[in-house]
Amino acid sequence: MVSAAPAPRVGYIGLGNMGAPMARRLVDWSGGLVVCDARPSATEKFAAAGVAVAASAAEVAARATVISVTVLDDAQVREVLTGDQGILRTARPGTVVAVHSTIADSTAVELAQLCRARDVDLVDAPVSGGAPGAKQGRLAVMVGGSESAFAAVQGPFGCWADLVVHAGPVGAGTRMKLARNLLHFVSFTAAAEAARLAEHAGLDVRRLGEVVRHSDAVTGGAGAIMWRETTAALTGDDPWLPIMSHVRDLGEKDLRLALDLGDRLGTELPLARQGLEHLAAGLGLPHPTRQSTGADDDR
């Protein structure tokens, strides 16, 4: 009977708002943990829990073979990897470095090439779920990298994430995170527009927020329509056709009603107008009024 390979020792560099709660969930990792942060105060609680503390990224790499990096930006990631006291100074062949910072996908690809020259694997592995998700161990992590590197990080990542997705080769994790955050922040902009409409209508904006959070938890929010494998136009025999047609018809009706309310209240709703114009095409459908009349504007 072949015994399972021992768990790798994990390193964690960057113990800020996200990194600290993620690393805390690795304190009992069977292979051991070593942490590093530029601020001594960030490592004190880890040291008190019996976790090894390294003085530099190079020292982490000398002691660990799976290393997570959660720092601020591209420049800091580059310094942690290639600086005078960086990971590549001491990393052993076969080491896997996971960058959780949201950086440019081109930076991830470039740094992966530098790592590969040293027989080190880099994965870009940005996360979604914020500090609450990190504390609860409920983050989603989007991994770009080789199959072997993905296999190496799945165990440690499972301590702080309950969704680990292999997005594709290096760079794919970052591209998926950018697409996810596009939805996130455009949704925030739409939420601000909806709040203005509610406020001008004399409603309690906080109660509207309560309704939004409740219903999105049930329906899945905007992610509920992201189950198709493509954004191409729907064909007549596609099983999604009746579902998306219903979404389009309901959405266009409600957007028109909201725009009418906004006109009566003197509230500008530019995103709602954009939504009415582009909803159908985004769902892979023709705009029904334009299809039948050829009109450019049916609002």
Q: Is 45 designated active site?
A: no
Q: Which residues pair with 272 in a beta bridge?
A: none
Query: Which amino acid belongs to residue 36?
Result: C
- Within 8 A by CB and 6+ apart from 116, the residues are 122
**What tokens were used for 214?**
């409740």
**What tokens were used for 25?**
């969930």
How far, CA to CA in Å, does 48 sit from each of 24, 183, 237? 12, 40, 63
Query: Which amino acid belongs to residue 272?
Result: A
Sign of the Cα torsion 158, 163, 167, 170 reads negative
- Within 8 A by CB and 6+ apart from 215, the residues are none
Q: Which residue has the tokens 């970052």?
A: 174
Query: What does the alpha-carbon distance between residue 88 and residue 82 come to, in Å, rounded to a whole number?
Result: 6
Q: Which one of the listed residues 45, 135, 177, 253 is annotated catalytic? A: 177
Which of 218-257 are b and which e, b meaning 16 or more Cβ less than 10 Å from the residue's Cβ?
eeeeeeebeeeeeeeebeeeeebeeebbebbeebbeebee
- Element of type H or E holding 251: helix 241-265
The catalytic residue positions are 177
